[in-house]
Amino acid sequence: MPVINNILTQARLYMPEENLRLIKKAYDYAVKAYADNPARLSGKPYITHPLAVAHILVSLRLDAPTVISGLLHKVLRGTPPRSSEAELRDLFGSEVASIVRGATKIDDIQFKSRLDYKAENVKKMLLAISADIRVLLVKLADHLHDMQTL
């Protein structure tokens, strides 16, 4: 199970110290934001999932806003009190707020049928790519970890 120190160690190989401090700040924020979320089906605390997503992203040597977004990708949907996009923007910048919002929007679409679901998935991916490829990378890391823990 990845822990924040593993993520910071990997990030240290290619990021400046300032970015490491932001990642640690995002981790501290995530711990509080996800505190009331139910445990994963495995029984592990929910925070293990965002940590794993961030670990996947840092292992791909992605930028700090993407790694931070991996840690925070569910804070806009979590157990109340939810975080706000404005709060994310104030604490972590507009890039992070935008990536997290994009990842949340992908999750929020509901479907009437299996065919609608398939068509909408393609549409969502194209929209995510056109807005910011990092939204798609966060969602792919999210789904990869979900599949790894099935």
Sketch the domain layout of the chain as residue ranges.
4-148
**Token pair belonging to 105:** 């929007």
Residue 49, C-beta contacts closer than 8 angstroms, at least 6 positions apart:
40, 74, 142, 145, 146, 149
Among 70-74, 90-94, 107-111, the range scoring the smallest mean pLDDT is 107-111
What is the rounded CA–CA span in Å between residue 19 and residue 123?
A: 33
Q: At residue 42, does pLDDT exceed 70? A: yes
Residue pLDDT, tens place only, 64-75: 999 999 999 999
What is the pTM (predicted TM-score) of this model?
0.85
What is the rounded CA–CA span in Å between residue 18 and residue 6?
A: 17
From residue 9, alpha-carbon distances to 53, 106, 122 in Å are 16, 30, 35
pLDDT value for 105 = 75
pLDDT value for 121 = 66
Query: Which has more confidence, 77 or 20?
Result: 20
Tell me if the domain spanning 4-148 has CATH number 1.10.3210.10. yes
Q: How many residues are there in the chain?
A: 150
**Binning pLDDT at 50, 70 and 90, where does residue 26 land?**
very high
The average pLDDT across 7-12 equals 98
Among 35, 40, 72, 39, smallest CA distance to 53 is for 72
**Token pair belonging to 51:** 């940590």
- Of all residues in the chain, what percent carry a pLDDT higher than 70? 80
Residue pLDDT, tens place only, 30-41: 999 998 888 888
pLDDT value for 79 = 57
